[in-house]
């Protein structure tokens, strides 16, 4: 029978060994069945586990992270040796496939299709093959597009998707070699992810030490050892000077409102020479403003000014270098252009994400901007501290679908303030250490991506005549 693989099929069906059969999936696998829908899931384990699209990961394995159960006892079940195919998802994810290697009683969603091969076909061999075809992008071009999702029906899978089948002993040998190589890769990736987790903890430890006076010698310690003048400017003296300068600069602009000092009750002791302060004492702290949505504003009036949103801050890794939207001069009259060097803090969705501007920009009221007064503080030091306070700030958010805090919460946050010279040294040392962490994280990320590419290379060899396993 002539098999038409269609465009984008990744395997050359014309150069396979003579002993390998080429057919459509449904020619040799007759038991092909979707699961059942269920709107009555539970996470308490009542009934049977009900596998859904997210339960097949991108590596072709069953993922039990988000398994829910159903009390329906009548729907189709999975058994060891079956193949589970994701028939409905986004176009990029339709076709993920995994082998069932457990005898547990599992049900499955109508967004999944069960293939039950006969005894002469290895389910694991079929699962690896179909998942490789998915990795190659074939199913993205074969699926039917719907609103917000795509699908491949059981009949399309059975009648139009090619399947190559070596003799059963060779299927077993190929599966054994694939899984041996995958086990090695998985062990390496697991080790890399452990290092990633350790680096994340180290990053947090560096910032915590920076804001507790344990990262570099304090000014007081240097003064005691003769490396600083005994009359160095303490943080309290710095704060008093900055507040006096703020009062002086306010002259002629109406009544001056003294910024509130922090409530020191219950706060821990600080290193010698440090003091507690609030951000309004150190500078200007205000929400952004935007009367029009950036895309509508730019469409109607043209966009000349950068406009950043919470997503730009979240992905900035502490320094905002890019923007995704623009704002017009008309919109700017109802907003504000914040200067380069402003610390941006998100107060909605992902609370206390931070980034420092490298360009002038506007932003919405879901972002708070902080600019320091004169020599009150280094913006980067304050940014480091907000990172360490993220979990505590998150506790002020109400338990709603989208978490948020108000400006008043940030205005009352007590910042542990070191002397200015000490802030500069803290920032330099923290950035030195964090830059090393970032380099290591980038290297690890590249290696993980390389491991993913290697998986595809292994499967490419497994299903082509490049990798022929001779009988033993």
Backbone angles phi, psi at 24, to 5 degrees: -85, 155
Distance between CA 112 and CA 35 in Å, rounded?
A: 6
| Residue 414: predicted pLDDT | 96
3-state secondary structure of 211: coil
Q: Is residue 7 part of a domain?
A: no
* pLDDT at position 396: 81
pLDDT (average), residues 77-87: 97
Question: Which range has the worst mean pLDDT, 28-37, 138-147, 214-223, 248-257?
Answer: 248-257
Nearest residue to 83 via CA among 27, 137, 136, 129 = 129
Classify 407 as helix, strand or coil. Answer: helix
List all residues 6 or more positions away from 21 whose beta carbon is below 8 Å from its beta carbon: 28, 164, 165, 166
Q: pLDDT tens digits for 303-326?
A: 889 999 999 999 999 999 999 889
Alpha-carbon distance of 377 to 167, in angstroms, equals 73
Out of 180-194, 338-352, 404-418, 455-469, which region has the weakest mean confidence (pLDDT)?
455-469
Same-domain check for residues 134 and 265: no
> What value does the mean pLDDT of the chain take?
91
Could you tell me which residues are beta bridge partners of residue 213?
none
Pair (378, 275) in one structural domain: yes
Model pLDDT for residues 216-275, shown as the tens digit of each residue: 999 999 999 888 778 889 999 999 999 998 888 887 778 888 999 998 888 999 999 999
143 and 208 both lie in a single domain: no
8 A C-beta contact, residue 327 and residue 362: yes
Nearest alpha-carbon partner for 107 in 163, 52, 149, 159: 52
Could you identify the residue written with the tokens 């002539």?
Answer: 2
Q: What is the DSSP letter of 13?
A: T
Q: Which residues contact 236 (CB under 8 A, 6 or more apart)?
A: 275
- Helix, strand, coil % in the chain, rounded to nearest 5: 40, 20, 45
Q: What is the total count of domains within the chain?
A: 3
* Residues 298 and 386 occupy one common structural domain: yes
pTM: 0.83
Question: Mean pLDDT throughout 197-211?
Answer: 97
Q: Could you tell me if 56 and 84 lie in one domain?
A: yes
Evaluate whether 405 touches 393 at the Cβ level (below 8 Å). yes
Distance between first and last Cα of the chain: 31
| 204 and 239 co-located in one domain | no
CATH number, domain with residue 293:
3.90.220.20
DSSP 388: H
Are 70 and 153 in a shared domain? yes
Q: What is the mean pLDDT of residues 412-430?
A: 96
Q: Which of 138, 174, 135 is nearest to 157 (CA)?
A: 138
Q: How confident is the model at residue 154 (pLDDT cuts 50, 70, 90)?
A: very high
Distance CA 133, CA 143 (A): 13
Q: What are the distances in angstroms from CA 178 to CA 130, 185, 341? A: 14, 11, 52
Does 80 reside within a domain? yes
Q: Which domain holds residue 332?
A: 233-418
Longest Cα pair distance anywhere in the chain, in angstroms?
A: 95
Say if residue 414 is in the same domain as residue 444: no
Q: Which helix (H) or strand (E) holds 345?
A: strand 343-346
In a domain, residue 14? The reply is no
DSSP single-letter state for residue 267: P
Mean pLDDT across 376-389: 93
Beta-ladder partners of 161: none
Give a yes or no: residue 11 inside a domain.
Answer: no
Q: Could you give the percent of the chain with pLDDT greater than 70?
A: 97
Asked if residue 472 has pLDDT above 70, the reply is no
Instruction: Report how far residue 57's alpha carbon sits from residue 63's, in angstroms, rounded to the nearest whole number.
Output: 6
Token couple for 369 = 């901007």
Mean pLDDT of 350-377: 92
For residue 246, count other CB atoms closer than 10 A to its CB.
20
* Cβ atoms of 129 and 11 closer than 8 Å: no
Q: How confident is the model at residue 401 (pLDDT cuts 50, 70, 90)?
A: low
Query: How large is the average pLDDT for residues 289-295?
Result: 79
> Does the pLDDT at position 188 exceed 80?
yes
- From edge to edge, which strands make up the β-sheet containing 83-86? 31-34, 112-116, 83-86, 97-99
Are 199 and 434 in contact by the 8 Å Cβ rule? The answer is no
- Say what the pLDDT of residue 470 is: 45
Q: Which residue has the higher pLDDT, 382 or 17?
A: 382
pLDDT at position 469, please?
46
The predicted pLDDT at position 190 comes to 96
Both 194 and 105 in one domain: the answer is no
The answer to whether residue 39 scores a pLDDT higher than 80 is no
Angle of CA points 345, 351, 356, to nearest 5°: 25
Poorest-pLDDT segment among 221-230, 383-392, 406-415: 221-230
For residue 186, give the H/E element and its range: helix 168-210
The pLDDT, as a whole number, for residue 468 is: 47
**Cβ-Cβ contacts under 8 Å for 234 (sequence gap 6 or more):** 219, 273, 274, 275, 419
pLDDT of residue 466: 55
Q: Return the higher-pLDDT residue of 5 and 179.
A: 179
User: What's phi and psi for 220, nearest 5 deg?
Assistant: -65, -40
- Look at residue 77 and tell me whether its pLDDT is greater than 80: yes
- 432 C-beta neighbours (distance < 10 Å), count: 10
Are residues 267 and 360 both part of a single domain? Answer: yes
Quick one: 265 and 307 in the same domain?
Answer: yes
User: Is the pLDDT reported for residue 144 higher than 60?
Assistant: yes
Residue 453 in any domain: the answer is: yes
* Contacting residues for 143 by C-beta, under 8 A, at least 6 apart: 91, 94, 95, 150, 151, 152
What is the mean predicted confidence (pLDDT) over 134-154? 94
Q: Are residues 45 and 145 both part of a single domain?
A: yes
Asked if residue 4 is part of any domain, the answer here is no
pLDDT bracket for residue 129 (50, 70, 90): very high
Report yes or no on 259 lying in a domain. Answer: yes
Please state, as a whole number, how many other Cβ atoms lie within 10 Å of the Cβ of residue 179: 15
């Amino acid at each position: 029978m002539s098999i038409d693989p269609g465009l984008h099929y990744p395997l050359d069906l014309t150069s396979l060994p003579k002993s390998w059969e080429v057919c459509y999936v449904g020619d040799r696998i007759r038991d092909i069945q979707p699961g059942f829908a269920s709107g009555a899931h539970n996470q308490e384990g009542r009934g049977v586990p009900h596998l859904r699209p997210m339960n097949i990961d991108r590596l072709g394995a069953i993922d039990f992270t988000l398994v829910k159960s159903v009390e329906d006892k009548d729907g189709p079940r999975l058994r060891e040796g079956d193949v589970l195919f994701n028939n409905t998802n986004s176009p990029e994810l339709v076709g993920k496939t995994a082998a069932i290697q457990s005898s547990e009683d599992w049900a499955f969603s109508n967004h999944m299709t069960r293939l039950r091969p006969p005894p002469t076909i290895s389910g694991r061999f079929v699962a690896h093959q179909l998942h490789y075809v998915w990795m190659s992008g074939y199913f993205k071009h074969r699926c039917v597009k719907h609103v917000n999702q795509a699908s491949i029906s059981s009949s399309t899978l059975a009648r139009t998707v090619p399947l190559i089948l070596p003799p059963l002993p060779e299927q077993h040998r190929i599966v054994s070699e694939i899984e041996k190589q995958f086990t090695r890769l998985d062990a390496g990736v697991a080790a890399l992810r452990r290092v990633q987790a350790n680096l994340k903890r180290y990053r947090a430890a560096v910032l915590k030490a920076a804001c507790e006076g344990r990262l570099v010698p304090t000014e007081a310690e240097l003064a005691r050892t003769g490396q600083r003048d005994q009359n160095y400017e303490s943080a309290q003296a710095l704060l008093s000077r900055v507040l006096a300068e703020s009062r002086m600069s306010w002259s002629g602009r109406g009544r001056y409102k003294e910024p509130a000092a922090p409530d020191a009750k219950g706060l821990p002791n600080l290193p010698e020479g440090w003091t507690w302060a609030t951000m309004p004492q150190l500078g200007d702290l205000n929400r952004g403003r935007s009367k029009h949505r950036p895309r509508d504003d730019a469409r109607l009036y043209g966009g000349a000014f950068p406009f950043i949103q919470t997503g730009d801050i979240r992905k900035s890794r502490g320094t905002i270098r890019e923007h995704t939207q623009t704002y017009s001069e008309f919109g700017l009259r109802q907003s504000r252009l914040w200067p380069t060097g402003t610390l941006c803090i998100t107060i909605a969705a992902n609370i206390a994400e931070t980034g420092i501007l490298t360009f002038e920009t506007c932003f919405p009221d879901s972002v708070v901007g902080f600019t320091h007064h004169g020599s009150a503080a280094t913006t980067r030091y304050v940014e480091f501290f907000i990172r360490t306070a993220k979990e505590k700030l998150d506790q002020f958010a109400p338990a709603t679908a989208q978490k948020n805090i108000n400006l008043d919460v940030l205005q009352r946050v007590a910042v542990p303030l070191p002397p200015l010279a000490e802030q500069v040294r803290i920032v330099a040392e923290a950035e030195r250490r964090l830059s090393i962490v970032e380099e290591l994280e980038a290297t690890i990320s590249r290696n993980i991506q390389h491991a993913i590419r290697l998986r595809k290379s292994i499967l490419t060899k497994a299903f082509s005549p490049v990798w022929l396993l001779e009988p033993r």
